[in-house]
Amino acid sequence: MTRIILTRHGETEWNIERRVQGRLDSPLTKKGLTQARSLALRLRNESIQYLYSSDSPRALATAEEIRREIQLGRVISEPRIREFSFGDWEGKLWDELRQNYRDIFRIWDSTPQLVQVPSGDNMYCFSEKVWEYFRELITKHRGETICLVSHGLTLKLLVTKALGFTVDEWLKTPMQFNTAVNILEVKGTKINPVILGDCSHLETTGL
């Protein structure tokens, strides 16, 4: 059996400011670092053999907390699990974008998969690329336990595909809050969800 743990980075400065991150980056907040440490403690007994991270600094900083706690030799930096590209929107405030792109956001708020973000990604195409890499990892790490540290929308789309839903059904799967944990078990061609979008490790710390 193959076990895959999917998780999101800790809180960042731009998360607090409600600013679009995408392929751009902002550092973990003090709270975000504490979240990452709590996540690391939660995962220390999961027998993780390989630890992958998006090459975004916020994800790598979160992964480093996990690596240190579980005493792995290194984090494997992987650009193919970066966040969805929000193109021209990146670095801008969500509230300002809603005012400046009202027509687009009428669609985005109900069916974002139909939107081509200006100079950015489309959810259908992005989902397929991330899913292709995910399938590669399943084959490469058959019978092992691996952990991937990635981003909110990337993880949401991965979990959607793993549960057998289409991109159009992405709202059926859990939101991926900071350091949310998803555990999937793969037996043959079947993917079984064990835990989805869980943040219970933050409850005892008041985060």
Q: Which residue in the list 65, 83, 151, 201 is annotated as catalytic?
A: 83
Which residues, 6+ apart, have CB-to-CB distance to 86 below 8 Å?
A: 20, 21, 22, 23, 117, 120, 121
CATH of domain 2-205: 3.40.50.1240
9 classed as catalytic: yes
Between 51 and 101, whose confidence is greater? Answer: 51
Q: Which is catalytic among the residues 9, 11, 65, 90?
A: 9
| Pairwise CA distance, residues 135 & 110, whole Å | 29
The yes-or-no answer on residue 144 being catalytic is: no
User: Residue 180 — very low, low, confident or very high, per pLDDT cuts 50/70/90?
Assistant: very high
pLDDT of residue 139: 96
pTM listed for this prediction: 0.95
| Per-residue pLDDT at 204 exceeds 80 | no
Res 206: pLDDT: 61
